[in-house]
């Protein structure tokens, strides 16, 4: 169905209003996608495409090889001065960034909806995560403490001292185009590092908007903008950042396949990595679960962000006594689900992000059908106008024929709104299924029996990095460390002890006595 002139004008006006509110030009033929204290860009052109309408929102000039290397060099130079700034003063900069972000929270949230495709409340919530972690980092800037260790030698003390690490590269994914960078930037800055951001090539506008806000704070305080640099680009830019010996740590969020390559590359030069990779998260529903809470949680977990969260609920294990009722309630919620413009209030189902995401969904549905799985609901695209112009799909609930958790249908994560379901007899069986897959990010048990809770969070329980009880797999807070185990990468971001990855540690033994004894009573006298 052709798009009328009035429809095209309405779409352009919709996008222009969002971009203009963030001082992103809407009349320029191309936008600069590199920032190292000054805006530039002469590399390949990236197109930002709206997943709701299919329109090109902007064209961005990415980093050329020379611009990329210059940006890393400038980050290195900026770090040398920034590391000497007292930590509480660095925290003050983060506080000002927090205030600047809060002033544009709704506008940034709208841009996330426009460019990534998640619904408005989730877009605003993502920006709120950045604001929250900034609050956390401000306090942390006065509490990044080492410790004093007792020495066995008289007149000696041992100090464990954290110092800034260097240049931190953040390679973020399309599904959280603002928050993941925020988790890293705020902690990295409080720790005294320079940060260089290589965002997903499909969400350059979110990166440009955030960098404009952050750079404004740095410039007003006389701090080099290269402390928080930006290099947009594709695979070649990402590889060059990962391979650079001037980058001390690479924080990478993305697929297991690419994460494996990143890990090997950085390890080959003895750099540090922080990896946040696949999820394939499971929810387990016990017979005593409160279904009025569990059903909506699984619904959001599997359908929210069109199934494109790292913590999305992919697997659902139902106790046989409540399986029928649970699925009936869940299918009713699916039946009420309508697609819509993610910028409009009340929309719960926005589009998938792009054509590649759509192909992952299509492949998942094709696999289910070819394996004779029972697809209870969903399993196709929305083809009626206006949704035919975007990447809208029907979230699916399926019962695979095989129950073997090692089978590809269970063990391979598919980044799409497809919920794979099985029925179990005993909790131990469900825990075994939960743990049998390669990934280990998030997990959720629904029960009111304290004995089940003890099993679930104990040594024979879930082996994931996030082990929830009566809370869904999706929607973590910033106060605790976020990350997963096994092929999820073992990385930890955000709160808790995650900050300890952004510093280098030294054990410092200080002798304030008049003698110099050796440890362990060793005598070495000629």
**CA-wise closest residue to 136 among 188, 199, 198, 206:** 188
Please check whether residue 493 is in contact with residue 483, taking contact to mean a CB–CB distance below 8 angstroms: yes
Active site residue 206: no
Backbone angles phi, psi at 435, to 5 degrees: -85, -10
177: CB partners within 8 A, 6+ apart:
112, 115, 116, 126, 199, 200, 203, 206, 207
Which letter does DSSP use for residue 480 in this model? S
Helix H or strand E segment including 80: helix 65-82
Backbone angles phi, psi at 317, to 5 degrees: -115, 115
Please check whether residue 439 is in contact with residue 484, taking contact to mean a CB–CB distance below 8 angstroms: yes
Annotate 107-157 with DSSP letters as a single string: HHHHHHHHHT---HHHHHHHHHHHHHHHHHHHHHTTT---EEEE-SSTTEE
Annotate 7-18 with DSSP letters as a single string: HHHHHHHHHHHH
423: three-class secondary structure by DSSP = strand
Q: What share of the chain is helix, strand, coil (3-state, %, to 5)?
A: 40, 20, 40
Q: Cis before residue 493, ω within 30 degrees of 0? A: no
Q: How many C-beta atoms surround the C-beta of residue 161 within 10 A?
A: 13
Among the listed residues 310, 374, 428, 515, the single catalytic one is 310
Among the listed residues 122, 126, 256, 276, the single catalytic one is 276
Helix H or strand E segment including 205: helix 204-220
**CA-wise closest residue to 315 among 436, 229, 213, 220:** 436
218: CB partners within 8 A, 6+ apart:
93, 224, 225, 227, 228
State the Cα angle at 465 between 461 and 362, rounded to 5°. Answer: 100
Please check whether residue 508 is in contact with residue 158, taking contact to mean a CB–CB distance below 8 angstroms: yes
232: CB partners within 8 A, 6+ apart:
33, 34, 41, 46, 60, 62, 63, 198, 199, 201, 204, 207, 208
Annotate 328-389 with DSSP letters as a single string: HHHHHHHHT--B--TTSTT--B---SSHHHHHHHHHHHHHHHHTT-EEEE--SB--STTGGG
d(CA 315, CA 429): 14
d(CA 301, CA 312): 5
Active site residue 325: no
Active site residues: 276, 310
């Amino acid at each position: 169905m052709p798009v009328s002139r009035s429809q095209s004008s309405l779409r352009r006006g919709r996008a222009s209003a969002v971009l203009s509110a963030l001082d992103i030009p809407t009349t320029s033929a191309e936008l600069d996608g590199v920032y190292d204290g000054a805006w530039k860009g002469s590399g390949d052109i990236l197109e930002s495409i709206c997943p709701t309408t299919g329109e090109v929102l902007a064209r961005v000039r990415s980093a050329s090889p020379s611009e990329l290397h210059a940006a890393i060099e400038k980050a290195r130079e900026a770090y040398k001065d920034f590391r000497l700034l007292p930590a509480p003063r660095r925290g003050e900069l983060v506080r000002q960034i927090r205030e600047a972000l809060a002033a544009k929270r709704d506008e940034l949230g709208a841009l996330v909806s426009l460019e990534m495709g998640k619904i408005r409340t989730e877009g605003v919530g993502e920006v709120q995560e950045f604001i929250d972690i900034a609050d956390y980092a401000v306090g942390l800037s006065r509490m990044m403490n080492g410790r004093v260790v007792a020495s066995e030698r008289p007149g000696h003390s041992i100090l464990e001292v954290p110092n800034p690490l260097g240049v931190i590269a953040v390679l973020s994914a399309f599904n959280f185009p603002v928050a993941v960078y925020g988790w890293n930037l705020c902690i990295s800055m409080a720790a005294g590092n320079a940060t260089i951001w290589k965002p997903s090539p499909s969400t350059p506008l979110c990166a440009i908007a955030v960098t404009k806000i952050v750079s404004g704070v740095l410039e007003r305080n006389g701090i080099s903008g290269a402390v928080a640099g930006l290099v947009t680009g594709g695979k070649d830019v990402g590889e060059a950042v990962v391979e650079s010996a001037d980058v001390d740590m690479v924080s990478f969020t993305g697929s297991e396949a690419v994460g494996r390559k990143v890990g090997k590359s950085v390890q080959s030069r003895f750099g540090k990595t922080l990896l946040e990779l696949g999820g394939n998260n499971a929810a387990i529903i016990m017979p005593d679960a409160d279904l009025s809470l569990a059903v909506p949680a699984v619904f959001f977990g599997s359908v929210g962000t069109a199934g494109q969260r790292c913590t999305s609920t992919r697997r659902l294990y139902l106790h046989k006594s409540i399986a029928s009722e649970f699925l009936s309630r869940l299918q009713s919620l699916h039946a009420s689900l309508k697609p819509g413009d993610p910028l409009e209030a009340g929309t719960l189902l926005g589009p998938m992000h792009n054509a590649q995401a759509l192909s992952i969904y299509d492949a998942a549905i094709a696999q289910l059908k070819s394996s004779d799985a029972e697809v209870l609901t969903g399993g196709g695209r929305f083809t009626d106008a206006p949704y035919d112009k975007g990447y809208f799909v029907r979230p699916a609930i399926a019962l695979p024929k095989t129950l073997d958790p090692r089978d590809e249908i269970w063990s391979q994560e598919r980044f799409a709104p497809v919920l794979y379901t099985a029925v179990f007899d005993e909790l131990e069986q469900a825990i075994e299924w939960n743990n049998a897959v390669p990934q280990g990010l998030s997990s959720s048990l629904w029960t009111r029996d304290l004995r089940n809770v003890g099993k679930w969070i104990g040594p024979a329980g879930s082996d994931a990095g996030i082990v929830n009880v009566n809370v869904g797999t999706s929607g973590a807070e910033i106060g605790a460390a976020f990350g997963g185990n096994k092929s999820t990468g073992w990385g930890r971001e955000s709160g808790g002890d995650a900050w300890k990855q952004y510093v280098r540690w030294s054990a410092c033994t200080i002798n304030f006595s008049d003698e110099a004894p050796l440890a362990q009573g060793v005598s070495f006298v000629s």
